Chains A and B, each alone.
Chain A
Amino acid sequence: MAKTERVIAAPPINPETKPFWDAAARGKLLIKKCLACGELHYYPRANCPFCFSDRTQWQETSGRGTIYSYSVMRRAPVPYAIAYVTLAEGVTLMTNIVDCDLDAIRIGQKVELVLKPSNGGPPVPMFTVR
């Protein structure tokens, strides 16, 4: 029988990104907001990649979004869907679409946050079709 669970690589954590993973452990997806220019960004950085201010703040997201693009990886022990999802907040991030029929995934579908355990690390934010 084929393997049915993909092993999810544990994200390396550093002091700059620890709050993100602590929040993920609580079921939350955080992005960063710059207090100087007002832009939201992802992946999170201490310094705003738009205006370079160091006045960046963590912001909790709605966990809702839309599939911008995706690709189902067929040549893998367990096929999986990689995607870019545009959050309701307007920021687009890389993720996996899980817990659904991979053949039914489409660009434009509405998705919501789920946290999936990683291999020896914190849970990782992923999305499922709403």
Chain B
Amino acid sequence: MTIKGKAYIAGAFEHPTRHAPDKSLAQLHAEVAKGALEDAGLTKADVDGYFCAGDAPGLGPLSMIDYMGLKVRHMDTTETGGSSYTIHVAHAAQAIAAGKCSVALITLAGRPRAEGMATGTAPRSYGAASPDVAFEAPYAPVITNMYGMCAMRHMYQYGTTSEQLASIKVAASHHAQHNPHALLREVVTVEDVVQSPMIADPLHRLDCCVISDGGGALIVVAPEVARSLKRPMVKLLGAGEAAKTPMAGKVDLTYSGALWSGPRAFAEAGVAPADIKYASIYDSFTITVLITLEDLGFCDRGKGGRFVADGNLISGVGKLPFNTDGGGLCNNHPGNRGSMTKVIEAVRQLRGEAHPKVQVKNCDLALAHGTGGSLGTRHASATLILERE
């Protein structure tokens, strides 16, 4: 059993807001749902499957199903933090292949900026019953110092430099300048990044993604539904997911779950990393991109620093155009969860609807990758491979 060719992404919508003090969380979910349905040329009455994650208000999917007035026969609330939505696309395809639904709606929304959340520098708690908490919380792990430890080890083991990491932000900023909705549109240099304030060694402020409100939604449909619509056909070719943990004391911070999710997705799709024309790579931090590129096989282990230097990620310049919307680093990281916008920009590229300045020529094969949780402890990686039919 495979999901190859069993489902299509027919609708994709990124909320234009980056700051939403005037909107409720449920309202944002509904607005992105509406946007994605309009993009697909479908209506709410067509939706028979609903997918959401921990950002949705209420009990699992129920409050949003109630609020939006949905009538569904399939629901899924897989929660893996920022990678949830790449996983939802795969799970929607599985449900569609099994005949459990034919039009799946996936929504994400959040307003951490309006709520003044210190996303990367304040401790988060998943509750005292979480078995790891007693052995981690006293040491004050936060998002930035956990990713900082990954970067520190990569530098120690492979000689990766802050300047190489900075070139990832530089590439994202080159793309963001063309996105009118991007939070940070100014093109930055390697110097700008390494001279920005240190947050948690060795990650500077500009190594970090933005904090933004908003959200996004996707519509995943059965092949016969996709063929009935007037939109370009974006087919799901393969998907892989994996969870990586500290492995009960066998800690290795130099790779992520992408080392396992990537090969699974490539095998199902029947393509290789060298075939990919465009990649959306989760970019909570610059180091997240570098480690993921190595794990997915776009470059050799330990050679990510060299790969990302010299503009290799810039559309029209380098070998692997990435995050052409500006990514989480410059454009948008709605609700502190970045994989929804990863899929959306991949869909734009495959449809030829990216900004003309960043549109990849003949973009018929794309990859979207999500990383949720913490690279420094436990996280879920999810890889999607999509084809323009």
Contact = CB atoms under 8 A, between A and B. Distances in A.
B137 A11 contact: yes
Given A12-B128, A41-B248, A75-B121, A68 B153 contact: yes
A107 B201 CA distance: 13
Interface in B128-185: 128-129, 131-142, 144-146, 148-153, 156
Interface residues of A, number: 46
Contacts of A69: 149-150, 152-153, 156, 253
Given A71-B149, A71-B201, A84-B149, A76 B246 contact: no
Q: Is the interface of B mostly helix, strand, loop or mixed?
A: mixed
A6 B144 CA distance: 18
A49 B250 CA distance: 11
B141 A82 contact: yes
A43 B246 CA distance: 9
Contact of A96 (B132, B135, B139, B200): B139
Contacts of B144: 71, 73, 75
Contact of A82 (B139, B203, B251): B139
A17 B132 CA distance: 11
Contact of A10 (B138, B148, B152): B138
Contacts of A12: 128-129, 133-134
A25 interface: no
B137 A9 contact: yes
Interface in A45-76: 45, 49-50, 68-76
B133 A72 contact: no
A13 interface: yes
Contacts of B248: 39, 41-43, 45, 49-50
B225 interface: no
B198 interface: yes
B138 to A, nearest CB: 4
B201 A72 contact: yes
A92 B152 contact: no
Interface in A15-47: 16-17, 21, 31, 39-43, 45
A119 to B, nearest CB: 9
B249 interface: yes
Given A43-B135, A82-B140, A73 B149 contact: no
B174 to A, nearest CB: 27
Most buried by A among B134, B146, B199: B134
Contacts, number: 123
Nearest to A76: B121
A118 B135 CA distance: 12
Contacts of B137: 9, 11
Contact of B140 (A9, A17, A42, A43): A9
A86 B252 CA distance: 11
A119 B142 CA distance: 19
B149 A82 contact: yes
A11 B153 contact: no
A35 B5 CA distance: 48
A73 B135 contact: no
Contacts of A86: 251
Given A71-B148, A71-B149, A82-B145, A95 B200 contact: no
B147 to A, nearest CB: 8
Contact of A70 (B132, B149, B246): B149
A44 B304 CA distance: 35
Interface of B: 121, 123, 128-129, 131-142, 144-146, 148-153, 156, 197-203, 246, 248-251, 253, 377
Interface of A: 6, 8-14, 16-17, 21, 31, 39-43, 45, 49-50, 68-76, 80, 82-84, 86, 90-96, 107-108, 118, 124, 126
Closest 6 CB pairs of A and B: A71-B148, A11-B134, A91-B249, A12-B128, A43-B135, A41-B248
Given A84-B149, A92-B249, 4 more contacts: A41-B248, A83-B149, A86-B251, A124-B139
